[in-house]
Amino acid sequence: MGRLDKASEGLLLFTNDSEWAAQVTDPARHLEKTYHVQIGTKADTRLIEAVERGVEIETGEVLGVKRANILRMGQKNSWLELVLDEGKNRQIRRMLDSRRVEVLRLVRVAIGPVQLGALGKGAHRLLSPPEKQLLDRALQLNSISGSND
């Protein structure tokens, strides 16, 4: 459930429970998805503030993130942590592209409280019962807080 474009990698959840999948992927639930993004430039506070505030792309749509921070910087590139609570098609790539920032690598590292951890490319494992409970609790909390908005 959920999707990653072919140039992205990271955590995906698989289930045969279509009702539960619909809850996890429902944008109205605002379940956070965390991404680590390598960009082809040195990040600065202006970039972080811009993506948190929201960036208008060429279609006129404004795309932003819930939270952003710089994880680490090299001499020519940086790694960012970006948290979305609703995902639009290629949101991170389109948002950064509008700022003329090249995305070198994009990895989803968490869906709600479930972390990718050290799981390698192409590897899989079952969710533990505590992870499933944490996801269910996050969905329930987001459902309650969303109804008060």
* d(C-alpha 114, C-alpha 49), whole Å: 27
Strand 55-56 with 78-84, pairing: unpaired
* d(C-alpha 10, C-alpha 58), whole Å: 28
Greatest distance between any 2 Cα atoms in the chain: 46
Cβ neighbours around 135 below 10 Å, total: 20
To the query of whether residue 5 is one of the catalytic residues in this protein, the response is yes
* d(C-alpha 104, C-alpha 114), whole Å: 24
Active site (catalytic) residues: 5
